[in-house]
Amino acid sequence: MKVTIREVAEAANVSRGTVDRALNHRPGVNPQVAERIIKIADELGYKPDMAARTLANKRYTKTIGVILCSEGNPFFNDVINGVNNALEEMGHFGIQNIVRKIKGFDADLLLKEIDGLLAEKISGLVITPVNSPNVAQKIQELEDANIPVVTINTDISSVKHLAYVGCDYITSGCVAGELLGMMSNGFEEHVALIIGSSMVMAQEQRLRGIKKTLKRDYSNITVEAVIENDDDDQKSYEQVKALLKEKPELTTICFASAGVEGGIKAVRESECGRKLRIITYDLTDIVRENLKSGVVSATICQEPFRQGFLGVEILGRYLLYGTKPKESTVKTHIFIATKYNL
Residue 189: its pLDDT value, please?
A: 95
Superfamily of domain 5-57: lambda repressor-like DNA-binding domains (1.10.260.40)
Strands (E), the chain: 63-68, 96-101, 124-127, 149-152, 163-166, 189-195, 221-228, 252-255, 277-281, 298-301, 329-331, 335-337
The b/e string for 51-64 (b: 16+ C-beta within 10 A; e otherwise) is eebeebbeebebeb
* CA–CA distance, 206 with 195 (Å, rounded to integer): 9
120 pLDDT above the threshold of 60: yes
49 pLDDT band, cuts 50/70/90, is low
- Whether the CB-CB separation of 23 and 48 falls below 8 Å is answered with yes
Domain with CATH 1.10.260.40 in the chain: 5-57
Q: Which fold has domain 61-166+305-332?
A: Rossmann fold (3.40.50)
Mean pLDDT along residues 30-51? 81
The per-residue pLDDT for range 160-189, each reduced to its tens digit, is 999 999 999 999 999 999 999 999 999 999
φ/ψ (deg, to 5) at 150? -120, 125
50 pLDDT band, cuts 50/70/90, is very low
Q: Which fold has domain 169-301?
A: Rossmann fold (3.40.50)
H or E stretch covering 118: helix 107-119
Strands 298-301 and 221-228: unpaired
| Polymer length in residues for the chain | 342
57 pLDDT above the threshold of 90: no
Q: What percent of the chain has pLDDT over 70?
A: 94
Mean pLDDT along residues 240-259? 95
Domain with CATH 3.40.50.2300 in the chain: 61-166+305-332, 169-301
Using DSSP's 3-state secondary structure scheme, residue 331 falls into strand
Mean pLDDT along residues 217-227? 97
Mean pLDDT along residues 82-96? 89
* CA–CA distance, 8 with 4 (Å, rounded to integer): 7
